[in-house]
Amino acid sequence: MAFTVAIDGPAAAGKGTISRAVAARFGFAHLDTGLLYRATGARVADGLAPLVAAQSLSPADLERGDLRTPEAGQAASRVAAMPDVRAALVTFQRSFAARHGGAVLDGRDIGTVICPDADVKLFVTASDAVRAHRRWTELADPALTLDAVLEDLRARDRRDSERAAAPLRPADDAVVIDTSEMDIDAAVEAATALVSAARAG
């Protein structure tokens, strides 16, 4: 039977780590929907038109080694603001969410647009300073300053929150988890407790 967990939030708030942990805990499939946009953006950088890039995505495209770079994140944010690209990727995401055995999807608009009827909706967030430090530490690039990473995150936040198509925001019925002062174990426990309660329902 299908059971869908929608986890949204800005970059470096911890939603990916929480999503993978929740999926592993309950044996659900997991989809990082940001990879769809990162892969589309990377293919655009390779010379494809945005809509063609989105419509012809293959599983191999999601395995590219360059999808976790800051450049890929910015490219993803740009193509995610294009309504036709978003529409092209909606069907894939909704089909994944409806799979038998349960699914966890994380992204920017899962609870608001992709899966508005999800069984559990979480919005994972953290302060700008905390998110920037996490991303800077994760990237471990001596050429990158913390200030540059902070500005990059804020630029993405502005673009994601202000776009006309599916802006980044919590669903009205989402539970907000602020990880600014939580370690990852505490954040995962908070999320899994909410999923457990919904399943016991």
Binding residues for ATP: 9-17
Q: Locate tokens 């953006």: which residue?
A: 41
Extract the annotated binding site.
Answer: 9-17
Query: Are the CB atoms for 104 and 23 separated by under 8 Å?
Result: yes
Rounded to 5°, the CA angle 108-112-116 comes to: 130
The residues, any chain, with a CB within 8 Å of residue 124's CB and separated by 6 or more, are: 7, 8, 9, 13, 14, 15, 18, 176, 177, 179, 187, 191
